[in-house]
Structure 1
Amino acid sequence: MNIDTLLIDLPAGKHPWRLPVFTDLGLHQQAPARLLAVLERQRPAVVMMSAEQLERLLDFPALALSDLSHLQQLLFISSRPGDWQLAERAAAQLDCHVEGFTDDGRDLVSVKREHQRWCQRALEHPQVNAVALHGTTLFAVPQPCEPATVDDQLDATAAAVDQQFSVTQLTDAVQLNQRLSHAALLSMLNGLEQCGLLPAPLNDVAHSLANAGITPGHRPLIARWLDVLQAEDLLRRQGDHLHPNLDASTWSDASLEGIWAQLSLDWARNTGGSATLDYARDNARQLPALMRGECAAVHLLFPEGRTERAAALYRESLAAQYQHRAVAHWIGAWAARQSGTEPLRVLEVGAGTGSTTQAVVPALAKVTVDYLCTDVSRYFSEQAAERLHAWPWVRHGVFDIDRPAPAQGYRTQSWDLIVAGGVLNAARDTERSLATLLALLKPGGWLVFSEPTQEEFWVMASQAFMLNQASDERALSSSTFLDLNQWQTALARAGFQGNRSLPAADHPLASLGHRVFVAQVPCQRLSRAALAAHLEHPDLHLELLDRLPDLPTAKDLP
């Protein structure tokens, strides 16, 4: 923009009206203190600057103490069409006339009117509840859909997977898990005793944990141990303390070594591996150090930064094997039913060590698919790429389930299927993360994920030391995992339908609480294509979310 744009041409024979002498502060960045010094020294009636400079000036604390009464008009140039709100703010703070222009010469008032017109047009669609226009991106909140009957083909998957396991093998797996839980509970007693917390005081538990040297971040977890040990009848209330119900010899170092050794042998016979028991036993031995923060739990799961132990942990148990085979079978059958000409778009979130990925990608080998394998950590994403070199058509990237998808460069309604293996329990707010995943799926798209749905005592004595504090229903119940009913409720609230899971209630593995969920986005949900056809504005980018994002420079309409 140049000074010619600030002249107003009058009819022939008249002289053009010109602005008073003005100060051009340039479009480059300057410190707000320097800007303010120039304004006070030169006392201009008209000033021109960049939007970024103006923002910094308005935020500068010394502005309120300055005399800018000489200022009559301020002009600023912005590359952000939503900066009309900046003009309104500047006029209020500086008590002068403020005008903003885009860098292509348009004034922001006309841009504002244009934005409001397109927002109003979007709101006229009967399936749109709210909109916000930011630059050339229009965010819309679709109207919730009524639940419909879903043909999820889950029963066929259940029947196919059950044929791959013997009843004896599954029954033994459940008994082993019960023994693993008991060994973890005894190890908790051992850890409490070594930290001077047996008998455990009931009055001011937080103060007692602090005095025992328990690191602040782990105190809520240790307080949960006390609740669990009471519920399992291993601690009893007596006066203002909790006392053990078993003789101390049952959780001595020697006794625990024998229990863990025998359990490891039996576990290997049932699963064919030993990584899970090695990991659980290593954590049990280190519990006092973990409790005091003297040992980092992540180093036990990833010794020397290696991922082999974690990879084996997530695929070794019979419950993990059942989950992976169920997810792979369902996805393979789903892919075979698709008849479109475009490649199927599959997004995996929280892939971690790639155990779920390695089960799923062979089931997609016979179809045309765009498979993006992601994790919050670039380190894991790179590790997964190495492990999946046999499937070069798998792409790899980074995705955080705790952040809005558009802010990470992911367009809404872009995926046919999303896969998540044991990652949603790590979300800060599960329902919010489910809503994020629903927005990424096309209408009629599917979410397939596996999750524990009940407390696992050996996890409470190992991986729980690495988990963040939840801000959803788990915070209210002080639990690590949502239960089955809570998952189904969270899915429904996020907008999914169907929401069934495996194994069935009468299945031998059902008591372990490890489940595979299948949920669908309603087919009648407003699509990007339908909204685009309604708007007839080819230059607008559309994003359909469950709520409007926080856009401080966008004008939201009611």
Structure 2
Amino acid sequence: MTSFEIAAAAGMDAVREHDLTNLAVHMRRLDETALLGIARAVSADRALAAGEARSADEVMHALGVVPRHRWIVRRWLRVLAEEGKLTAVGDGRYRNLVTGGDGEFTAFDGARRALGYPPELTGFFLECIARLPQLVRDEVSVQSILFPDGDFATALGTYSHNIISTCTNRVAAVLVRQILTASPSRRVLEVGAGIGGTTAGVVDELDAAGLSGVDYEFTDLSRFFLVPAAERFADRPWMRFGLFDINTEPDRREGSADLIIAANVLHNAHDVDVVLARLRGLLAPGGHLVIIESCREHYQVMTSMQFLMSGRAGEPRHEFTDFRAGTDRIFLTEHEWVDRLTAAGFGVGPVLPGAGGPLAPLAQHVFTARV
């Protein structure tokens, strides 16, 4: 078996106890719940709810949307129109909002269980949906809902404790172990490490393999994650912790890493091509980049985690300057990631889990690229 086949098999073995049938149906139920919540939030503009034609600006004025979240509401309106719950008039205006019933809410928890998400995530998503009007007005922050009293349990449900994250984190861990086993130098840089959802599996895998000479730097944009990470991984003396912002010029020398891990962070790049070029510059010749990314827009994320992608409070959001400019899109498709990595000069390996498998409807993938 090739290294990719070994990693793919390990990922599927990690979720073997789950029923992987009908995952597309369960994901659709989560989307329908989010759509209902979005429609109800938008219906606070009573003119739109009454069937009057309204522009996006008029809707946002009625809802009291702060500048940094305007992109989210613009995206809501487009998605409602695409889903047939709102009529696009054709001149940038909308009418005939359909708010729906309560059936989607009752189906949510069963879909959540089928997808392996913990109970905390049900509460998080439903609280976000209930508080969408307050979220768009900055009367409450999604951080306060996601990290109540600094607790990471809900966030771990998003990034670790579910079917697709269990699989992709396991795939990434096995790939990292195989890459470092074959490498004479083992300098690892993890960017956007956050709560360490991917990190934990990777360092456990390296420990189990008994690899020596590993220099692992755990980094994130915010110090909020660094102190808990330093405590959590205190028994790994070969780990270091520091700040790293993918959207600024790195303060590290070129060729200073043999492997870079980027799990669920690169979609935040203001310009994907610029960021990939920076990461490529940090890699030594023959170095590897391992990426985990969601490759479709999940509506439940649009009502929750996407608020983390707005600008800072009181500031407008930083606009994308790559091919996503002016679209309010965030996530790249699988093919777009392969194209951008190739354009950046990487050799790209097979995408895991592959298309056509039982996990394909969840649309989260591991990409491996080499300088």
TM-score, scaled to structure 1: 0.60
**What residue in structure 1 maps to residue 302 of structure 2?**
460
Work out whether residues 491 and 499 of structure 1, in 8 Å CA contact, stay in contact via their aligned partners in 2.
no
Q: Which piece of structure 1 moves more, 176-185 or 192-201? A: 192-201
> Which residue in 2 is equivalent to 1:495?
345
Q: Does the alignment pair 1:243 with 2:96?
A: yes
1:233 aligns with 2:75: no
Which consecutive residues of structure 1, in runs of 5 or more, have no partner in the other structure? 1-150, 522-558
Deviates more, 1:445-454 or 1:264-273: 264-273
Counterparts of 2:272 and 2:349 in 1: how far apart (Å)?
Answer: 15
2:116 is equivalent to residue 271 of structure 1: yes
Contact 1:181–1:457 (CA under 8 A) maintained in structure 2: yes
- Work out whether residues 348 and 418 of structure 1, in 8 Å CA contact, stay in contact via their aligned partners in 2: yes
Aligned counterpart in structure 1 of residue 73 of structure 2, from 209, 218, 222: 222
Higher relative contact order (Cα pairs below 8 Å, separated by 6+ residues): 2
Find the residue that maps to 2:275 and give its secondary structure: helix
What secondary structure does 1:163 align onto? helix
Q: 1:327 aligns with which of 156, 159, 172?
A: 172
Tell me the equivalent position of 2:322: 472
* Pick aligned residue for 2:188 from 338, 346, 363: 346
**Which residue number corresponds to residue 227 of structure 2?**
382
Q: Tell me how large the CA RMSD over aligned residues is.
A: 2.4
Cα 1:244–1:195 shift into 2, 3 Å: closer
Q: Structure 1 residues 160, 298: closer, same or farther in 2, change over 3 A?
A: closer
Question: How is 1:46-61 mapped onto 2 (pairs within 5 angstroms)?
Answer: none
Listed one character per residue, the Cα deviations across residues 232-256 of structure 1 (whole Å, up to 9, x for unaligned) are 22223469642135xx4x34xxx27
Matched, 1:445 2:295: no
Identity of aligned residues (%): 32
Query: Contact between 2:272 and 2:322, CA under 8 Å: does it hold in 1?
Result: yes
Aligned residues of 2:86 and 2:94 also touching (Cα < 8 A): no
The answer on 1:193 being equivalent to 2:46 is no
Per the alignment, in what secondary structure is the counterpart of residue 244 of structure 1?
A: coil
Q: Please state whether the residue corresponding to 1:404 is helix, strand or coil.
A: coil
Task: Work out the number of aligned pairs and report it.
Answer: 357
Map of 2:218 onto structure 1: 373
2:149 to 300, 304, 309: 304
Q: What letter is aligned with 1:233?
A: G
Larger radius of gyration, structure 1 or 2? 1
TM-score (norm 2): 0.88
The aligned residue for residue 274 of structure 2 is 432
Residue 21 of structure 2 corresponds to 171
What is the CA distance between 1:161 and its match in structure 2? 2.3
Q: Is the CA contact 1:449–1:518 (under 8 Å) kept in the aligned structure 2?
A: yes
Q: Which moved more, 1:314-323 or 1:215-224?
A: 215-224
Deviation at 1:391, TM superposition (A): 2.4
**1:402 match:** 247
Alpha-carbon distance in 2 for matches of 1:161, 1:209: 43
**CA contact 1:350–1:374 (8 Å) conserved in 2:** yes
Whole-Å separation in 2 of the counterparts to 1:273 and 1:506: 26
Check whether the contact 1:152–1:498 (CA below 8 A) recurs between aligned residues: no
Give, in whole Å, the separation in 1 of the partners of 2:70 and 2:52: 14
Q: Deviations over 1:94-144 (max 9, x none)?
A: xxxxxxxxxxxxxxxxxxxxxxxxxxxxxxxxxxxxxxxxxxxxxxxxxxx
- Point out where structure 2 has 5 or more consecutive residues left out of the alignment: 311-318
Contact 2:216/2:240 (CA < 8 Å) preserved in 1?
A: yes
Structure 2: distance between partners of 1:460 and 1:237: 20
